């Protein structure tokens, strides 16, 4: 096992250069940054010991990115979100796993890789304990692998689609439906799709091995990458057509093709922003294809780096094999679109303090309010008023009992009333208070209103 810190390349200003930003422009810049989402940007390139054309990568169950390696002492590299690279040999014997290609997270929580003639699985916590399994594919060519909707693993090898039971991997099922399979991905309808380079087609199978709706789709060239998208849509990359193309297929419809001349599009992945991202080897960039067909590019990788495969990573990132430079690239800021504004109107919170009904014999009152719907009514506690609350279940008129406390209670006390009674014969006590009423409708926001009022307590001498 080897550990190395990845090198991060970020643009630097020329020596001696100064940057002058007018104040007005700076204000606009700050406003735009605060109100808009950051655009995706290449945020790092990290060394690994060796990459080939077919090496793949995935996000592991440990939250790190894992990539298969080519021709070195290590079989896989583990890359933290911060870009720290740790390389591992799989298995106790160096011959257990050799030149792994495809990689995915299995339904059992392990990482699975393909190699010539078989597959292997390992826990991210202990790659050295990897187990290898031979498949009856006649020494077939190792390619992509994915977890299927049926709880099995699926891979493409030469002219076969292979279903692998994670409990008993060597009891695999073979389906002879391909010319020469490359990448494989699941759609949202329970089907598996393969980029069939040898057959110049995109082939779909059900989990029973039967043709998926509309399959196969003739696309020409030599398709290499494929990815599942929203709903039942899939996307593919086809560097073998002239001009080179990327495309989208919705089962039952014809392939929708977008030209990408001289870009060499290869691997495809669905990003956190809901768009397909395509590694484009010849132009050292990524293509971005939305499900409705809008195409753009993202540059920022080093010249000659050669993006080949791409996968979505943690924290709205993309990770890219750069097999021209033996590096892994990171793209940050791949965020989804802002949610549309809700058309649901919040419940009304307007209410009315209709009147205050005083009980002059007891020196208390009732605050009468009209409310528009169910919710909660509260009379706030203060230095002169006790708290009160209720939860009406419907619109209508409600009453909150207002009782004095503190100084107001002393002014209206029965003892004080008796003293005044002996002196005046017909006393009248008064206390000024403030009623603060809050109404909160169910599922809505609160509104508060206040009313100043005078509490009165009267007495009369008995004759």
Task: Give residue-wise pLDDT tens across range 316-330.
Answer: 999 999 999 999 999
- The whole-number pLDDT of residue 342 equals 66
Tokens of 12: 């630097």
Instruction: Give the predicted TM-score (pTM) of the model.
Output: 0.69
117: left (phi > 0), else alpha (psi -120 to 50), else beta?
Answer: left
The string of pLDDT tens digits covering residues 101-141 is 999 999 999 999 999 889 999 999 999 999 999 988 755 78
Evaluate if residue 345 carries a pLDDT over 90. Answer: no
Q: Which of 15-24, 131-140, 201-210 has the highest mean pLDDT?
A: 201-210
pLDDT of residue 152: 96
Domains and CATH numbers, the chain: 2-9+37-332 (2.130.10.10), 352-458 (2.60.40)
Share of the chain above pLDDT 90, in %: 76
In this prediction, residue 338 carries a pLDDT of 67
CB-based burial, 221-235: b 16+ in 10 Å, e otherwise: bbbbbbbbbeebbbb
Give the pLDDT of residue 224.
Answer: 97
Q: How far is the C-alpha of 288 from the C-alpha of 374, rounded, in Å? A: 49
Q: How confident is the model at residue 1 (pLDDT cuts 50, 70, 90)?
A: low
Q: Is 181 a residue whose pLDDT tops 80?
A: yes
Least confident of 1-15, 157-171, 260-274: 1-15
Whether pLDDT at 422 is above 60: yes
Question: According to the model, what pLDDT value does residue 35 have?
Answer: 40
- At 462, the pLDDT band (50, 70, 90 cuts) reads low
């Amino acid at each position: 096992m080897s550990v190395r810190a990845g090198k991060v390349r970020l643009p630097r200003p020329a020596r001696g250069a100064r940057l002058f930003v007018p104040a007005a422009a700076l204000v606009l810049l700050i406003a735009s940054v605060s109100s808009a989402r950051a655009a995706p940007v290449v945020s790092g390139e990290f060394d690994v010991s060796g990459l080939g054309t077919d090496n793949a990568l995935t996000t592991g169950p440990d939250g790190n990115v894992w990539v298969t390696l080519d021709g070195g002492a290590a079989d896989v590299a583990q890359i933290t979100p911060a870009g720290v690279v740790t390389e591992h040999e799989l298995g106790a014997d160096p011959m257990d796993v050799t030149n792994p290609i495809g990689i995915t997270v299995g339904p059992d929580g392990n990482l699975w890789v393909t190699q010539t003639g078989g597959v292997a699985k390992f826990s991210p916590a202990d790659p050295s304990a990897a187990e290898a399994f031979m498949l009856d594919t006649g020494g077939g060519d190792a390619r992509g692998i994915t977890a299927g909707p049926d709880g099995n693993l699926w891979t493409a090898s030469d002219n076969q689609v292979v279903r692998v039971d994670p409990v008993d991997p060597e009891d695999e099922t073979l389906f002879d439906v391909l010319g020469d399979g490359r990448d494989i991905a699941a759609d949202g309808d329970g089907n598996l799709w393969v980029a069939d380079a040898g057959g110049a087609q995109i082939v779909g199978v059900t989990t029973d091995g039967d043709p998926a709706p509309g399959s196969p789709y003739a696309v020409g060239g030599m398709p290499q990458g494929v990815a599942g998208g929203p709903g039942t849509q899939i996307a593919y990359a086809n560097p073998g057509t002239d001009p080179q193309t990327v495309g989208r297929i919705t089962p039952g419809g014809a392939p929708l093709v977008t030209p990408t001349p001289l870009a060499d599009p290869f691997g495809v992945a669905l990003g956190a922003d809901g768009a397909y991202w395509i590694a484009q080897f010849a132009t050292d960039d990524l293509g971005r294809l939305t499900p409705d067909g809008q195409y753009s590019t993202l540059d920022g990788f080093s010249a000659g780096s050669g993006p080949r495969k791409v996968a979505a990573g943690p924290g709205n990132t993309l990770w890219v094999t750069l097999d021209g430079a033996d590096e892994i690239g990171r793209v940050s800021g791949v965020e989804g679109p802002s949610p549309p504004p809700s058309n649901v109107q919040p419940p009304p919170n307007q209410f009315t303090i209709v009147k205050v009904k005083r009980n002059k014999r007891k020196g208390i009152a009732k605050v009468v309010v009209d409310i528009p719907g169910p919710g909660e009514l509260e009379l706030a506690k203060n230095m002169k008023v006790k708290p009160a609350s209720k939860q009406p279940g419907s619109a209508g008129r409600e009453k909150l009992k207002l009782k004095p406390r503190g100084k107001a209670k002393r002014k209206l006390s029965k003892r004080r009333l008796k003293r005044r009674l002996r002196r005046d014969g017909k006393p009248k006590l008064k206390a000024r208070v403030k009623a603060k009423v809050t109404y909160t409708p169910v599922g809505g926001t609160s509104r508060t209103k206040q009313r100043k009022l005078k509490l009165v307590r009267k007495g009369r001498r008995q004759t």
